[in-house]
Amino acid sequence: MGDLEVLVSPADAEAMWILIGAVGFLLAVIIGVVLKSASRKTHLPSPTETTESARTVTSPQTTSSKPSVQTEDDFAPSKSLRQALANTEQSLFGRMKSLWSSDQIEKNFEEIEEVLYTSDLGPQTVEKLMSSVKEQLGRSEKKNMESVKSALKSEFQEIFQNADIREPLQDQPMKYLVLDKKPAVWMVVGVNGAGKTTSIGKIAAHLARSGKKVLVAAGDTFRAAAGNQLKVWTERAQVEIFSPENVTDPSAVAFDAVAKAVAQNYDVVIIDTAGRLHTQANLMEELKKMKRVIAKASTEAPHETLIVLDANSGQNALIQAKQFHQALGLTGVVLTKMDGTAKGGVAVGLANELKIPIRLIGVGEKIGDLRAFSAQEFVDSLF
Ligand SMILES: Nc1nc2c(ncn2[C@@H]2O[C@H](COP(=O)(O)OP(=O)(O)O)[C@@H](O)[C@H]2O)c(=O)[nH]1
Ligand SMILES: [Mg+2]
């Protein structure tokens, strides 16, 4: 104690105690923060929270808190279609499967019809399916559940075949999209909230990982937040974004992006677009102009005009697809949110009524949650 008195003056000792106090306080704060964040990590979102987050447009604030560099795990094969749809017994899949156990053919026939009508296929497709099945059964000797099942199965298969849906290789989900042009230009359209920006991020990430030089153009100049959200996704995907400041004309952005891609040897340009309601004629006019302007920067482009549709929007998805198709001539569909409460039947209605292929499906909000659409997998999940 005496030694301490020699080394430390009373004023110094007081300062030392203050310092010790401050360090103690800081430690307590740090421990508090660590405990709080640990408890947040273990908190599982309730179903309502999950639905809510799927509905709200990802804001740059929430997304930027995630690391921009992806780990291998984020790209690990995401859930299968069957797993994604297993969420709900209300889905076409859950309900169809439960029908096959009955052997009362008449009663069952009515139930099949009801399941189809209430699973977003659309009345036109249901009528076609039911009359073909009845016709097939009329020709068949055996009229049991097995024959109904196989007749219906072959009808589903035919619908998908007629929509030019080829069986994908899961490790090459973009195989049937145009990539052999330099640059390949893909325009992505759809209404607000369908999942365009998210899907573009996932697609860009996949292409970049397979060695493509990718440019993503911020053609949604309508909403200020859209550019920021796209920027976050391109950082995650580790691809370049083309987002000139103070350019409000989306066609100008698209033209300059394609011109840049031609000049700088990019493999793929993906163009994000605005999605104000499709019923507004000016959106369609704007998109048509964009398409024309893109062709001026590179003849034949865009090589793909992909529509992004929210599988949960049911019959609206079909209506939107028809309107966009009429205005723009779509080349393919990206069906998002198949992990939600989607009934799934919309895929069949789309294939039957539009005859354009469903190329990709979104099965979650993560960068790896994108899969090639497999008609085989879809049909096998039903029967
Ligand atoms: N659960 C789920 N959510 C998705 C999927 N695709 C997009 N979303 C969410 O849907 C919301 C709207 O997506 P966004 O890309 O902003 O739509 P955009 O307005 O068409 O560009 C966001 O909260 C996305 O995270 C998907 O496949 N599954
Ligand atoms: Mg968007």
Report whether residue 219 contacts ligand 1, using a CB cutoff of 6 Å. Answer: no
User: According to the model, what pLDDT value does residue 68 have?
Assistant: 46
User: According to the model, what pLDDT value does residue 348 have?
Assistant: 93
Q: What is the mean pLDDT of the chain?
A: 82
Whether 11 shows a pLDDT value over 70: the answer reads: no
Q: In what order do the strands lie in the sheet with 332-336?
A: 240-242, 214-219, 268-273, 184-189, 304-310, 332-336, 358-362, 370-372
| pLDDT tens-digit series, residues 274-304 | 998 655 678 999 999 999 999 999 999 999 9
CB 194 within 8 A of CB 220: no
Q: Which runs of E-coded beta strand occur in the chain?
A: 184-189, 214-219, 240-242, 268-273, 304-310, 332-336, 358-362, 370-372
| pLDDT tens-digit series, residues 73-127 | 566 655 666 666 665 556 777 777 777 776 677 777 888 888 899 888 999 999 9
Report whether residue 365 contacts ligand 1, using a CB cutoff of 6 Å. Answer: yes
Of 71, 87, 88, the closest CA to residue 79 belongs to 87
Instruction: Give distance in angstroms: CA of 377 to centre of ligand 1.
Output: 23
| pLDDT tens-digit series, residues 322-370 | 999 999 999 999 999 988 777 788 999 999 999 999 999 999 999 999 9
Please report which ligand is nearest the Cα atom of 60: 1
Of 338, 350, 352, the closest CA to residue 381 belongs to 338
Of 291, 300, 276, 295, the closest CA to residue 325 belongs to 291
- The DSSP 8-state label assigned to residue 15 in this structure reads H
Please report which ligand is nearest the Cα atom of 220: 2
Helix (H, G, I), strand (E, B) or coil at 243: coil
What is the C-alpha separation between 312 and 233, in angstroms, rounded?
A: 23
Choosing from 51, 57, 200, 367 the residue with most ligand 1 atoms within 8 A of its CB, the one to mutate for a pocket test is: 57
Report whether residue 337 contacts ligand 1, using a CB cutoff of 6 Å. Answer: yes
Q: What is the mean pLDDT of the segment spanning 1-6?
A: 44
* Entry field: residues in the chain: 383
Q: What is the mean pLDDT of the segment spanning 35-41?
A: 46
Query: Dihedral of CA 172/176/177/183: which sign?
Result: positive
Report whether residue 302 contacts ligand 1, using a CB cutoff of 6 Å. Answer: no
CB 373 within 8 A of CB 168: yes
User: According to the model, what pLDDT value does residue 270 have?
Assistant: 98
Q: What is the mean pLDDT of the segment spanning 49-68?
A: 35
| pTM as predicted | 0.79
- 35-to-14, 21, 259 alpha-carbon distances in Å: 32, 21, 52
Whether 56 shows a pLDDT value over 50: the answer reads: no
Whether 246 shows a pLDDT value over 80: the answer reads: yes
Choosing from 198, 206, 222, 309 the residue with most ligand 1 atoms within 8 A of its CB, the one to mutate for a pocket test is: 198
Instruction: Give distance in angstroms: CA of 303 to centre of ligand 1.
Output: 24
**Residues whose CB is less than 8 angstroms from the CB of residue 42 and which lie 6 or more positions away in sequence, other chains included:** none
